Structure 1
Amino acid sequence: MTYKAYCLMPLLLGAVLLGCSDPDSTPPLAVGPLGDRADLPVDARIRIDGLSAPVDIVRDDQGRPHIYASTLADAMRAEGYMVALDRTVQLDLFRRHALGTTAKYFATINPAAINQDIGLRTVGVNRIAAAQYASIQDPQAKALLEAYADGITQAFRRLRSGEIPLPAGITNYPLEALVDWTAIDSLAVARLRIYQLSNQGTAETFYTNLFADLGKTFPTDSPDPSITKRAGMIQDLWLLAPRERVYTSSSTPQSPSPKPGPPKPPANARERLPASSDAFFRILTEFNERLSPDGFGSNTWAISPSRSATGHVLLASDPHLGLGAPSTFWPVALHVGATGEGLHVSGVAFPGVPGITLGHNEHIGWGSAVAGYDVTDVYTEELTPDGKAVMWKGAPVPLEFVEEIIEVQGSEPIVYKLPIVPHHGPIAPTIENGKILPIDPAAGAVSVRWTGHAATHDLEALFTLMLAKSVDEARTSLERFEVGAQSWVVGDTTGNILWTSHARVPKRAPGALSWDPTTGTGNLPCLALPGDGTAEWEDDIPGDMMPWGKNPENGYIIAANNDSWGGTDDGDPTNDKFSDGTPAYLGCEFDIGFRASRIKTLLEGAKAPVTPEDMATYQGDARSNLGARLAPFLVEAITRGEAERATPGTHPDLTAVVADPAFAPDRVAAIKAVLQQWGTEADYLAAAGIDQDTGEMLSDAEGAPKVVEARAARATLIFNVWLIRLLRRTFGDEYVRAGREEGIPRAMQLDGILHLVEDDHASFATLDPATSDSALWDDIDTPAVESRHERALRSLLDAIAWLDKNATESKAVWGAHHKVTFAPLTPMWIEMHIPSALDPVFKTGFPRHGDLLAVDASDFTTSWALDDSPNFTYAVGAAQRFVMDLDPTGPRSWNAIPGGNVWDPASPHFRDGADLWRRNQTRAVPFRVEDVVAAKESRHVLSTQ
């Protein structure tokens, strides 16, 4: 082979080479730790400064780099270099988001970057990361961070110089923005991720203002009875208790389940937060939604050998994050030392963060789900007349100021003196048109306290976790993971399973926990608290009291963002205590439990020991949990409507709706039959109904190969269009009247509708004695008094009209509307979409199964006005589908990510993961050397020569 061909070959495979040496003109070069092997020839060499010895990079046929190094520092340097090649712009943009430096290069094309930088500088990720770096005591940990940063820097320098080109699809990206990477940059990217998963400041302000708006709109003392009937609306929407009582802990829930009782008295009105803070929290909300629309979630579970077909621990992990391009995670493997010694770890990393975030080594495997613990409080502050201090415990406390300089492309820098309440945190600034206005003392202020403001050692915890040899060692390692509380699920090769949710969770003073769930009054840390000193953090909850468990008797552990131990079981998250009397408030916003309950049902219903293939199948479970609960309600409403149509006066509340010309008896009866059949023959499978190869709609003709799936896909579409309209028909009149045209959170709407449909009427805070039902079913803007069944049928007529217009025969199934596209970080990079507009089959996105609250996360937005067409496209889902078999002879794993590992359309690994992911398929991940060699696509040697 000629020198030229030798250097070109890996480029044809989608790899990037530098310093490629001519084997005919230089002395023989040292090879990496894998040595000279006939079955593993060296395709090319890359010169990297700072290595103590050559490093092997074997890229497998899925595009995953397997890094073999002599020292951990060399492995980190190589990891940094490789991630910079695979995810260049993703790295730089995430760093700029975290540090608040986006406007320096992008304010001209995106003026909103200025406001975003102001918002992120106020949060202070840049300051936190700098403090973290300064606090690192372990010189090895600091050296590893520096080595990783140096690897990225060396790649960035070559990109800046033009030695390495950016992918052709990335246009107008300034190379000068790719400045040298630092260890602080990695800490900032990590803390930004933690911020997104744990800082509830925006949610707490939202709920506080929603309480206030509803309370003002529907006061208890209104002379209008139609108003006072709705004074308890917030209590019927924000229930706090889970709908499915499935807890990660196998112990008995801490509180008794609520029992029906007298109607709840309506809540008293709360004060809205100062309007000066509105723009700040809106900026942060918009930023979070761009990176992870409609929130986040995760499923992680493990089973003991007693339930496993392999006789080993099986573990599954599918974190639910934003589905953009490139993928959130970057698969990689690190090997240092001989087998059985040193470090051998494989999994996925967050680009910009060294090591492995989720994965396995030779002894343990781990996954995680957001625990949902409340580690943020928003405080309303009383300012002194001069605006230089806040009143706290009856005395003024001077504000502290930190100067932030925000560089702006084409403009003068913004010099921002950020006010900080010493005992709470930064004050939300008043932002108008990219400018920060002075504090108005008369208006008051809002500060945000977050455990993430402190310098913690979360990356060091992950470094030690990668070296753990048992679940007990893993738990010890994770005691240093202090912010961004996760329910970590861990298994080991000796047959143990464990979960731990260790994190810094503040112990609140009694004044912060005076909530009364019956009246909806008092202080609750999920709402804004008074900043006067009566609702402070006293300390952290002792670490040994944080919920955890090992080897439960039932043989499984499930963490799916559900309440981990039952503290919200009675609807009051504030009334539990630990054994020593410590208040056991951990949080009030958890998943309502449908995913955890369904996983439990699948595990307990297995007719044979569970295989790894079963675990992957469960990850892709697309049963419509909402359909199973609400479709029978619609069928009941149709049945009553048919009776009223046949015999007027049978159900007088339905007289008007069944007289509507849109109520075509044959059409309605056909829909009723479709929904009933959906349950009886498909168990409410939310099917796509689209062939994943051809893009054609499946036939529902009798005898067709997938007739059941096709019929289920029609039912799924009907149900979800109806559900969107039902939510608006039920709650829309109230929240629009309250000035909430944008709607209310999806979780609140779904929990509220389930409450109104399923629960005892006596539990309704909006109970109307005249109808013995909730006043929320009635449309306040009409003279008639609408009932629950009238709303269901009216919503069905809405759905029929939408279907007639938007779901013609070629689009009459769910997958024709429920799609996903992995969109790039900047819309103008049209070549970087997966699939692209030029895709021969899926030009408008990949059709997907699943719907709201399914195990295979596929959520979409629910807040659509009646004159809007619902958009069922979704952008949050499984960021990986990882299954592990913790075999003592060597763990085995399977995975798929939504995209590809190399963010370059010229690479075969640009979208190969997406094609597996969209079909709910995975591939085995090579881990043993012999398996890596068998899957080898290319081998590079990194060395200082």
Structure 2
Amino acid sequence: MALIFRALVWLTTALLGLSVITVVTVYYLASRSLPDYDKTIAVPGLTGDVEIVRDNSGVPHIFPSSDRDAFFALGYAHAQDRLWQMTLMRRTAQGRLSELFGPRTVETDKLLRRLDLYPRAVQSVSSQDARTLDALEAYAAGVNARITEINRDSLGRGAPEFFVFNAPLAPWQPADSIALVKLMALQLSSHLKEEVLRARTSLLLPDENRLADLLPDIPGQGVAALPEYASLVPAIPDTTRFAEARPEPPFWPVADRGLAGASNAWAADASRSATGSTLMANDPHLEFTAPATWYLARLQLSSGGVIGATIPGIPAVMAGRSESIAWGVTSSYLDDQDVFIEEINPDNREQYRTPNGFKDFATRRSIIEIKDSEPVTLTLRWTDNGPVLPTTQFDLGTITPPGHVTALSWTALSARDTSMSAAIGLMYAQSVNEALEASKAYIAPSQNVTVIDANSIAMKLVGAMPRRDAAHQSQGRLPSLGWRAENRWQGVFPDDSNPVFLNPTGGIVGNTNNKIVDRPFPLHVSFDWGDSQRVMRWQGLMQGREVHTRDSFIEAQLDTVSITARALLPLIGADLWFTGEAAPDGTPERLRQRALELLANWNGEMNEHLPEPLIYTAWLRALQERLIRDDLGPLASEFTRVEPLFIERVYRDVAGASAWCDILRSAAEETCTDIARLALDDALIWISETYGTALESLRWGDAHQATHDHPVLGDVPILRYFVNIRQSTSGGDHTLMRGRSSGEGPNPFLNVHGAAYRGVYDFADPDSSVFILSTGQSGHFLSRHYDNLGILWRRGEYIPMSLDADLARAASVGVTRLVRE
């Protein structure tokens, strides 16, 4: 027995020792890639010496000898802090993820290869102006200088992830940065999915009023009724319209419906500012990740200092300020994509139909290398309208007739894309007018750019607007026949067709992804917009004061009142409030009464510490599910987030919309009050099972946690607790401080999409401007800068956005000196 005991002690000691050695080794290897911010290093490619001063928040302030050296240093700093993120984005754009991750990312690679984004980025390099070419080349040299340093000094391969996913790291190229802009365009695009969903839904809902209920036009001047999709295309087998959507593969670069893009931006001129100068606020919304997509940086250029939000891999401040102007971006929802149904020649499958007869597909072979598997060879096909997409992606198989394929027209497929030149041009602009002139080079992604200088404010939709024929069969809202000449694009509109608002009479301009113009097709911009709710709250806050300050703009940016809740609750609960006798404690009726009492006294504030937002949100979710599930079947799963205009149309019985309340498969005729009561019971059952029956103790923040998850390691057991950042948050789908819910899975109210960057700019005192990130500057989970800014972001706090060099040096955590080799 003693021998066995000693053996167990020895074994336990050995295992503990081995564990300690393993942990120490892993920590040592991982920590080797932590950048040293306080050093001097000789690098090739500089025209002079550069200082990179990291302030206490980890923001690099770059003081160069020339503009070229500024972009070199930005590339070096990006690679210090975010090399893995840059590599992953580049591989995504190239369609080369499977070389790292194996078969699970093949579908993603196939999509990117078919879209041909990277080759078109390579072609676009020569279209940039000389200043942008110089910046791209210098930036690439800075990234490569850091890669060379990592390899030479064995600096942990640059990031811990490279130990897990080992692959050669190719030098950075100017085309890589342009490819990332195109990848952003893909992540912000929504119209392909919207067209397919509208087609699928129209096949189930032939009544145009019911289709308008579920996919309504944003309020404003109406449009002519659309034709039924079934009348536009040859026969589609009945079974496809009921098919459930395929799950999306890992690293899928196209956002879920409702997550394709959002943001807020607004500006006030001197007449509406308490300080007598201009103000602006901007918070672009993207899917939350760890680290965030954005990276804060300051560059000292020949035109002056520039500071704001960059994207690692792209040598430009995408939203921020210079000494002369400030600018911000919001998703414009320009309809820049069209799906085309292409007829295959029945006698020759290598041809498709055009207005002038059958024509050969343009084809090219592409080989996808796959880790631990045989490579896959794709045959890429293009029509005059764009790349041919497989029926297995985007649910295209559900709306594609036999003997046909689908192709995509999209402005981001341009091989002469000058969007990078526009972004660089904005950094050098010295006035609103110069900024608007520089913006003409934008192609994709289309954005609303809000810009101010000390005296003027403006907002302009930038990006190429497709020119469609006025006789287009579906006006771009449904997949259309590719061989009909009237459906095909006729180039793009000139830049002066893009909406612009310069120094408006009211002194305030802004956008919450709402409808910005009401123009007839084809100058309409879009039929689908990203917001019909937040804008109402924004209007109230802007017009509620005669003049504004930086603090009032911050207050609006952090506002968590849901005007949607204030509007919908009286409608759906009209016949439920304060009715009937008090029910006994412990009964479902009593639980319902308690919930209604809480909601009756609630002001619509989506505060993380309150129970009412959780009860309201769960009720609306259950209500929409009951209204649409029996009519749509599996297709109801595409509508995972509450559609406020749909609920309002039903409960106001607009054009007979209350018909949704009657359950088709029941003998009784249910009223909307019945459905509201049943849905509230459904919600309370779910809440009780998940959080308990103590309604007063519920916290919205427990359900509405911001999910800054690592895109690769976030699902790895144990490790996920180190790399994922979760935070209890206020706000909701329809508040100005937007926190978009996931809508899926066991935790449907997780906050997955919101303002990963916030900035507020005051030209009365520019150095009092402020900004913040949702995570931190570093992509290294062992760095203190991995999540330090996220703590402030969650509390609604900011850090100074100052161009004062002495202030940056006074609070620096290190100075990196790059000297000529």
One fold, TM greater than 0.5? yes
Aligned pair in 2 of structure 1 residues 398, 919: CA closer, same or farther (>3 Å)?
Answer: same
2:778 is the counterpart of 1:902 = yes
Q: Aligned-pair distance for 1:178?
A: 1.9
Question: Among 627, 644, 648, which residue is 1:754 paired with?
Answer: 648
* Cα pair distance change 1:872/1:118, threshold 3 Å: same
- Find the partner of 2:499 among 544, 547, 568: 547
Partner of 1:635: 573
**What is the deviation of 1:892?**
3.6
Please give the residue correspondences for 1:446-845 in structure 2 after superposition, counting only pairs within 5 Å: 446-454=406-414, 455-493=416-454, 495-512=455-472, 514=473, 523-532=474-483, 533-567=485-519, 576=520, 583-606=522-545, 609-639=547-577, 642-643=579-580, 663-664=588-589, 666-678=590-602, 683-689=603-609, 713-736=610-633, 739-740=634-635, 742-744=637-639, 746=641, 749-758=643-652, 761=653, 763-764=654-655, 767=656, 774-808=658-692, 809=694, 812-827=698-713, 837=721, 845=726
Paired residues of 2:418 and 2:443 also in contact (CA < 8 A): yes
Q: Hey, what does 1:368 align to over in structure 2?
A: 329
Match of 1:934 in 2: 810
Name the aligned partner's letter for residue 708 of structure 2: F
> Could you tell me whether the CA contact under 8 Å between 1:273 and 1:446 is conserved in 2?
no
Measured at CA, do residues 483 and 845 of structure 1 come closer, stay the same or move farther in structure 2, by a change above 3 Å? closer
Tell me which residue corresponds to 2:354: 392
Deviation at residue 431 of structure 1 after TM alignment = 5.6
Q: What is the CA distance between 1:428 and its match in structure 2?
A: 1.1
Q: Specify the SS of the correspondent of 2:167.
A: helix
Tell me which residue corresponds to 1:886: 763
Structure 2, unpaired ranges of 5+ = 1-29
Equivalents in 2 of 1:276, 1:632: separation in Å?
39
Matches within 5 A, 1:101-116: 101-107=96-102, 111-116=103-108
State the shift of 1:391 in Å: 1.2
Structure 1 residues 365 and 113, CA gap change in structure 2 (3 angstroms): same
CA apart distance, 1:479: 0.5
What SS is found at the alignment partner of 1:427? strand
Deviations 1:484-529 (A, max 9, x none): 1111100002x200111132111211331x5xxxxxxxx1302101
Among 180, 185, 188, the alignment partner of 2:179 is: 188
Distance change (3 Å), C-alpha of 1:675 and 1:292: closer
SS at match of 1:328: coil
- Code of the residue aligned with 1:62 in structure 2: it is S
What is the match of residue 280 of structure 2? Answer: 315
1:657-676: CA deviations, max 9, x gaps? x99x9552x44333222112
Structure 2 residue aligned with 1:93: 88
- SS of corresponding position for 1:96: helix
Match of 2:35 in 1: 16
Alignment check: 8 A CA contact 2:187 2:255 kept? no
- 1:394 Cα deviation from its structure 2 partner: 4.5
**Could you say if the C-alpha distance between residues 168 and 812 of structure 1 is closer, same or farther in structure 2, counting changes exceeding 3 Å?**
same
Letter in 2 for 1:330: Y
User: Are 1:356 and 1:466, in contact at CA under 8 Å, matched by a contact in 2?
Assistant: yes
1:851 to 725, 732, 750: 732
One-letter code aligned to 1:508: R
Change (3 A) 1:168 1:353: closer
Q: Distance in 1 between matches of 2:55 and 2:125?
A: 34
The answer for unaligned runs of 5 or more in structure 1 is 1-10, 19-42, 220-229, 246-254, 259-263, 515-522, 568-575, 578-582, 647-657, 690-712, 768-772
Contact 1:383 1:391 (C-alpha < 8 Å) held by counterparts: yes
Give the match's secondary structure for 1:510.
Answer: coil
Q: Does 1:328 align with 2:280?
A: no
The answer on whether the counterparts of 1:452 and 1:483 sit within 8 Å (CA) in structure 2 is: yes
CA distance 1:304–1:832, change in 2 (3 Å): farther
Partner Cα separation in structure 2 for residue 44 and residue 827 of structure 1: 31
The structural deviation recorded for 1:309 is 2.2
SS state of the match for residue 281, structure 2?
Answer: strand
Aligned residue pairs total 778
Write the distance in 2 (CA, Å) between the matches of 1:293 and 1:180.
Answer: 36
Distance 1:802 1:313, change over 3 A: same
CA distance in 2, matches of 1:318, 1:103: 34
Distance 1:153 1:427 in 2: 36
Task: Return the alpha-carbon distance in structure 1 between the equivalents of residues 110 and 31 of structure 2.
Answer: 43
Cα pair 1:54 1:942 within 8 Å, conserved: yes
> Residues of 2 paired with 1:345 and 1:806: CA distance?
48
Are the structure 2 counterparts of residues 389 and 14 from structure 1 closer, same or farther at C-alpha, using a change threshold of 3 Å? Answer: closer
How far apart are the structure 2 equivalents of 1:566 and 1:290? Answer: 27
Match of 2:372 among 410, 427, 440: 410
CA contact (8 A) 1:81 1:154 kept: yes
SS of the residue corresponding to residue 317 of structure 1 reads: strand
CA distance in 2, matches of 1:905, 1:286: 20
State the distance in 2 between where 1:890 and 1:612 align. 11
Which residue number corresponds to residue 875 of structure 1?
A: 752
- Structure 1 distance, partners of 2:518, 2:280, is 23
The letter for the 1-side match of 2:105 is: A
CA distance 1:62–1:617, shift in 2 (3 Å): same
Residue 935 of structure 1 and its aligned partner are, at CA, apart by 2.8
Who is 1:652 aligned against? Answer: none
Contact persistence 1:662–1:797 (CA under 8 A): no
CA 1:638–1:283 in 2, change beyond 3 Å: closer, same or farther?
closer
Matched letter for residue 314 of structure 2: V
Q: Which amino acid counterpart does residue 406 of structure 2 have in structure 1?
A: V
Match of 1:164 in 2: 155
Kindly tell me: are residues 59 and 195 of structure 1, through their superposed partners in 2, closer, same or farther at Cα, counting changes over 3 Å? same
Post-superposition Cα deviations, 1:537-589, rounded to whole Å, max 9, x if no partner, equal 1232222121101111111111111111124xxxxxxxx16xxxxx4231111
Give distance in 2, aligned partners of 1:863 and 1:780. Answer: 25
Deviation of 1:891 after TM superposition, in Å, equals 4.8
- Counterpart of 1:124 in structure 2 is 116
Residue pair 2:147, 2:158 contacting (<8 A) in 1 also: no
- Contact preservation (8 Å) 2:777, 2:785: yes
SS at match of 1:942: strand
Percent identity (aligned): 25
Question: What's the CA shift string for 1:338-397, capped at 9, x where partnerless?
Answer: xxxx34210011110112111111100000111111111111011112112211114112
SS for the counterpart of 1:563 is coil
Residues 662 and 784 (structure 1), Cα distance of their counterparts in 2 relative to 1, 3 Å cut: farther
1:701 is matched with none
Residue among 285, 308, 311 paired with 1:350: 311
Q: Deviations over 1:624-675 (max 9, x none)?
A: 22211122124313138x25x79xxxxxxxxxxx99x9552x4433322211
Q: Give the TM-score normalised by structure 2.
A: 0.88
TM-score w.r.t. length of structure 1 = 0.77
What CA distance in whole angstroms lies between the structure 2 residues aligned with 1:345 and 1:844?
29
Q: Name the SS of the counterpart of 1:859 in structure 2.
A: strand
Structure 2 distance, partners of 1:112, 1:14, is: 28
| RMSD, aligned α-carbons | 3.3
Question: Quick one: distance in 2 between partners of 1:524 and 1:718?
Answer: 40
Q: Separation in 2 of the partners of 1:729 and 1:491?
A: 47
Q: What is the letter of the counterpart of residue 345 of structure 1?
A: V
Provide closer, same or farther for how the CA distance between residues 90 and 472 of structure 1 changes in structure 2, counting only shifts above 3 A: same
> What's the secondary structure of 1:62's corresponding residue?
coil
Contact map agreement 1:298 1:319 (CA 8 A) in 2: yes
Q: State the Cα distance separating 1:926 from its structure 2 match.
A: 2.4
Taking structure 1 as reference, are residues 442 and 787 closer, same or farther at Cα in structure 2, changes over 3 Å only? closer
The aligned residue for residue 135 of structure 2 is 144
CA distance in 2, matches of 1:687, 1:17: 40
Offset, 1:429: 2.9
Note the C-alpha offset of 1:198. Answer: 3.3
Identify if the C-alpha distance between structure 1 residues 668 and 796 changes in structure 2 by more than 3 Å, giving closer, same or farther. Answer: same
Q: Which residue does 2:200 correspond to in 1?
A: 209
Counterpart CA distance in 2 for 1:459 and 1:636 is 53
Counterparts of 1:150 and 1:273, CA distance in 2: 53
8 A contact 2:188–2:255 mirrored in 1:
no
Aligned to 1:445: 405
SS of structure 2 residue aligned to 1:746? coil
For the residues of structure 2 that align with 1:852 and 1:332, how far apart are their CA atoms?
A: 30
